[in-house]
Structure 1
Amino acid sequence: MGTNWVPDLSEAGRSKYKALADGIRAAVAEGKLTSGTQLPPVRELAYQLSVTPGTVARAYSVLTEEGVLQAGVGRGTFVAEGGAPVDEAVSWPRVLNLRSPLLPDVGQSLLLRDAMRKVADTMPGPEFMNYPDRRQDLPLRRALRRWMADLPIGNFTAEDIVLTHGAQNALMLVLQTVLQGPDPAVAVESLTYPGFRRAAELCRARVVGIPCDDEGPIVAALEQAVREQGVQIFCTSSEVNNPTVRHTSSARRREIAALAQRLGLHVLDDDCYAIGPHKDESYYSLLPELGWYVSSTSKSLTPALRVGYVVAPRPRVADLVRTATFSYFGLSRPLTEIALEFLTDHRMLSVAAKVRARMNELVRLTVNHLGGHQVAWHEDVPFLWVALPFGWRAAQFARAAEGQGVMLKGAEEFVLRDARAPHMIRIAVNAQVDTARYEAGIIQVRQLLDNPREEFTV
Structure 2
Amino acid sequence: MTHWLPDLKAGTGPLYVRIADAAETAIKTGALADGAKLPPHRDLAYDLKVTIGTITRAYALLRERGLVSGEVGRGTYVQGGRRDASPAGDPLTSAYGGTRALVPPSGKLRFDTTAAVDVGQAEIIGRVMMEIATEHPSEISSYTRTVSPDWAEAGRRWLAQGGWAPDPETVLPQLGVHAGVNAVMAAVTGPGDRLVCEHLTYSQVARSATLMGRRIVLADMDEQGVLPEDFERVCAREHPKAAFIMTSGQNPTTSCLPLSRRKDIIDIARRHNVWLIEDYLYGGMIADGIPTLAELAPDRTFILNGLSKSVAAGVRGAWVACPPHMAQRVRLTQKLVSGGLPFLLAELSARLVLSGAAEEIRDRVLTELAEREAAARRLLAGQQFRSHPRLPFLWLKLPEPWLSGTFKQAALDQNVLIDDEDEFKAARTDRVFHHVRIGFSEGRDRQISLGGLETIGRILHQAPSGEGAVI
Common fold: TM-score over 0.5: yes
Matching of residue 126 in structure 1 with residue 138 in structure 2? yes
Pick from 398, 406, 409 the counterpart of residue 408 of structure 2.
Answer: 398
Are 2:391 and 1:378 aligned?
A: no
- Return closer, same or farther for 1:95/1:390 CA change in 2, 3 Å cut-off: same
Where in structure 2 are the equivalents of 1:21-170 lying within 5 Å?
94-123=107-136, 125-135=137-147, 137-151=148-162, 154-170=164-180
The residue aligned with 1:450 is 461
1:321 and 2:331 are equivalent in the alignment: yes
Matched AA of 2:174: T
Provide closer, same or farther for how the CA distance between residues 98 and 128 of structure 1 changes in structure 2, counting only shifts above 3 A: closer
Count residues with an aligned counterpart: 360
Q: SS at the partner of 1:171? A: helix
1:178 is the counterpart of 2:188:
yes
* CA deviation string 1:225-271 (max 9, x = no partner): 12211211110100111111111111111111111111111111101
SS in 2 for 1:231: coil
Alpha-carbon offset, residue 455 of structure 1: 6.2
The answer to whether residue 244 in structure 2 is matched with residue 231 in structure 1 is no
Distance 1:193 1:126, change over 3 A: closer
Equivalent AA in structure 2 for residue 134 of structure 1:
T
Q: 1:298 & 1:233 partners in 2: Cα distance?
A: 24
CA-CA distance at 1:287 after TM superposition: 1.6
Instruction: Quote the Cα distance in structure 1 between the aligned partners of 2:108 and 2:224.
Output: 37
1:429 Cα deviation after fit? 1.3
TM-score by length of 2: 0.72
Counterpart mapping for 1:228-377 below 5 A:
228-274=237-283, 275-328=285-338, 330-377=340-387
Structure 1 pair 211/347, CA: closer, same or farther in 2 (3 Å)? Answer: closer
The answer to whether the 8 Å contact 1:188/1:208 transfers is: yes
Report the alpha carbon displacement of residue 176 of structure 1 after superposing the two structures with TM: 0.4
Contact 1:165-1:308 within 8 A present in 2 as well:
yes
Kindly indicate whether the alpha-carbon contact (under 8 Å) linking 1:131 and 1:329 is maintained by their aligned counterparts in 2. no
1:454 Cα offset (Å): 6.0
CA deviations on 1:97-134 (whole Å, 9 max, x unpaired) are 100114333231011111111112222x4333443133
| Distance across 1 between alignment mates of 2:356 and 2:240 | 45
Deviations 1:301-336 (A, max 9, x none): 001111221111112112112212334564222332
For residues 186 and 361 of structure 1, the distance between their equivalents in structure 2, rounded to whole angstroms, comes to 37
How far off its partner does 1:138 sit? 1.9
Q: Tell me the C-alpha RMSD between the 2 structures.
A: 2.0
114-123 vs 93-102, which moves further: 93-102
Is the CA contact 2:310–2:361 (under 8 Å) kept in the aligned structure 1?
no
Residues in 2 aligned to 1:295 and 1:98: alpha-carbon distance in whole angstroms: 22
Q: How far, CA to CA, are the matches of 1:127 and 1:381 in structure 2?
A: 36
5+ long unaligned stretches in structure 1: 1-92
CA distance in 2, matches of 1:164, 1:447: 42
> CA 1:149 to 1:221, structure 2 compared with 1: closer, same or farther past 3 Å?
closer
Amino acid at match of 2:212: C
In 2, are the aligned partners of 1:270 and 1:293 still within 8 Å (CA)?
A: yes
> What's the CA shift for 1:278?
2.7
Structure 2 stretches lacking a partner, 5+ long: 1-105
1:419 Cα deviation (Å)?
1.6
Say if 1:173 and 1:102 are closer, same or farther in 2 by CA, change over 3 A.
closer
Q: Distance in 1 between matches of 2:350 and 2:427?
A: 40
Q: CA deviation at 1:417?
A: 4.2
Distance 1:346 1:172 in 2: 29
Contact 1:411 1:424 in 2 (8 A): yes
The match for 1:220 is 229
- Quote the residue 1:195 is aligned against: 204
How far did 1:397 drift? 0.3
The letter of the residue matching 1:146 is R
Q: Contact 1:95 / 1:406 at 8 angstroms: preserved in 2?
A: yes
* Equivalent AA in structure 1 for residue 216 of structure 2: V
Range 125-134 or range 186-195, more displaced? 125-134
Change (3 A) 1:346 1:223: closer
Separation (CA, whole Å) in 2 of partners of 1:430 and 1:107 = 14
CA, structure 1 residues 415+329, in 2 after alignment: closer, same or farther (shift >3 Å)?
closer
C-alpha distance in 2, partners of 1:364/1:127? 45
Task: Give the TM-score normalised by the residue count of structure 1.
Answer: 0.74
Q: Is the 8 A contact 2:182 2:337 kept in 1?
A: no
1:350 Cα deviation from its structure 2 partner: 2.8
**How far did 1:344 drift?**
3.0
2:448 is matched with 437
SS at match of 1:385: strand
**Whole-angstrom CA distance in 2 between matches of 1:378 and 1:276:** 8
* 8 Å contact from structure 1 (residues 215, 252) kept in 2: no
Q: Does 1:419 align with 2:419?
A: no
Cα deviation for residue 372 of structure 1 reads: 0.5
Deviations 1:172-199 (A, max 9, x none): 101101113x521111001111122112
Q: Is 2:155–2:318's contact at 8 Å kept on the other side of the alignment?
A: no
What residue is the counterpart of 1:428 in the other structure? 439
